[in-house]
Amino acid sequence: MVTARLTVDPAFAVAPVNRRIFGSFVEHMGRCVYGGIYEPGHPLADSAGMRSDVLELTRELGVSVVRYPGGNFVSGYRWEDGVGPVGERPRRFDLAWRAIETNAFGLNEFMDWAGKAGVEPMMAVNLGTRGIAEAAELVEYCNLPGGTAAADLRRKHGVGAPHGIRLWCLGNEMDGPWQTGSLTAYEYGRLAARAGQAMRKVDPTIELVACGSSNSGMPTFAAWEATVLEQAYDQVDYVSLHNYYDPLRLDPASFRASAVDLDRFIDDVLATADHVRAKLRRGKRIKLSLDEWNVWYQNDFTEPEDRPVAEEPPHLIEDDYTVTDAVVVGNLLISMLRHADRLTVGCQAQLANVIAPIRTEPGGAAWRQTIFHPFALTSALAHGTVLRVALTGPAMTTDRYGEVPALDAVAVHDPDRDELVLFVVNRSESPVPLDLDLRAFGGLAVTEQVTVTDTDPAARNSAAEPDRVVPRRLAPPAVDGGRAALVLPPISWHAIRCTVLPSS
């Protein structure tokens, strides 16, 4: 076996960890809202109908930001339908997922839930079937204290204090032909600029996210970002990225190396945004919002137009995740941390049931999927400054990306806690010995090593076996002269926690 070497130095700083990268996503799709976070009548529902078990798991997951209400759903959504007395709200046909939307759960219910979950809201406006006036009015309803029609309407609805929502998405996937009201890049860029200008007139403190390409495989990718930013650069703070990784459409090795693709995607969008900055001669640098990402078994997905209209929330893309999927999710988080200087918002899609780390049974239990664990541990341990690491070692062959490193890693250093945490994955099917070179930190002790792995990489959690796959704590390796040696099992994710020892 070829030994890999991982060298860490506190001088190789990237940027502070932005807690917003540990975000999630709640869309009116399938059972994410109804039967997921909200289920009146459930034995564990609170007086507002929120499932307390899901709230508890959301807090344990370490979610920082939640994007709402879509997703494709937002492009046909009237936010006014989801406010005011519940009994007076209209039932609507949802154009995106061919379901009946009761509007029993809307904006103020979401904000109530977000407060209980301790998360920051990230609100999306409808630029598919609506436009500038509706977007500005929604900001007014949410963020102004009173004295205007929309703000006073919120107060009439029983919400006296403004919500104060800072993060706003200017539509969703507007390049996609599946999107209700999809536009060309120029059309969307002009609309985003005008809507953003109006929204900022209502509240100058908000941050705006422009739609990037729906995924890196879109035929207009990069040209879309360039055209949109040429029109909207001065009004927006972020451009979005969306990407899902499908185990059924890739060979196994390429799937395990999905973070290679995410690294390239991020770098390409940054290069495009910086080209526009230079072309327009602007000082501001656009940041990135990876506000939809996850593993998704898309070959099992039935397109909405091929399904009958659902009167009740349908079971849509409720994927059962494996240990391999969890390792891939952990590796995607490593990629996100590696780009902490520019990628400062991330939303794993979605939170409950729909390609989600949390699954629920109607009227029954909630449990953690395998992908829950690397997310929760990374969110809990990633504090301080991201460090770029030097990593050498064996390679593995993939059909999609050629030869790629078998290991991937990033480090986070928190001097206030005297702590260094290494996040490492072995994406190969063989064990890999790893030599840690920590000499640049002086005296260190490895205090904890947590891993997500299994002898069966296809192992899953379920309602019957909710703890079939859980993180395991291994005996931490001894540090001698600033070096430590360990062996990483095949297809495994690791968090290695080190404490800086006081100098003698």
Distance CA 350, CA 29 (A): 10
Distance CA 202, CA 205 (A): 9
371 closest CA partner among 360, 356, 381 = 356
Tokens linked to 313: 């929330």
User: Is residue 154 within 8 Å of residue 141, measured between CB atoms?
Assistant: yes
What DSSP element (H or E) covers 289? strand 287-295
Q: Classify burial at 448, counting beta carbons within 10 Å of its beta carbon; exposed 0-12, middle 13-18, buried 19 or more.
A: middle
292: annotated active-site residue: yes
Distance CA 208, CA 202 (A): 13
Distance CA 147, CA 150 (A): 9
What DSSP element (H or E) covers 324? helix 323-338
Total Cβ atoms within 10 A of residue 336: 28
Distance CA 304, CA 95 (A): 9
Helix, strand or coil, per DSSP, at residue 156:
helix
Helix, strand or coil, per DSSP, at residue 100:
strand
Instruction: Decide the pairing of beta strands 432-437 and 4-7.
Output: parallel
Looking at this protein, which amino acid is placed at residue 263?
D
Tokens linked to 309: 């209209």
Q: Which one from 39, 109, 120, 292 is the annotated catalytic residue?
A: 292
Instruction: Decide the pairing of beta strands 407-414 and 385-387.
Output: antiparallel
Tokens linked to 412: 């986070």
Distance CA 20, CA 456 (A): 33
Cis peptide preceding 471, ω within 30 of 0: no
Distance of CA 235 to the CA centre of its chain: 23
Looking at this protein, which amino acid is placed at residue 477?
P
Q: Which one from 120, 173, 225, 318 is the annotated catalytic residue?
A: 173
Which residues 6+ apart lie within 8 Å of 230 measured at CB?
Answer: 189, 276, 279, 280
Which residues 6+ apart lie within 8 Å of 47 measured at CB?
Answer: none
* Catalytic residue list: 173, 292
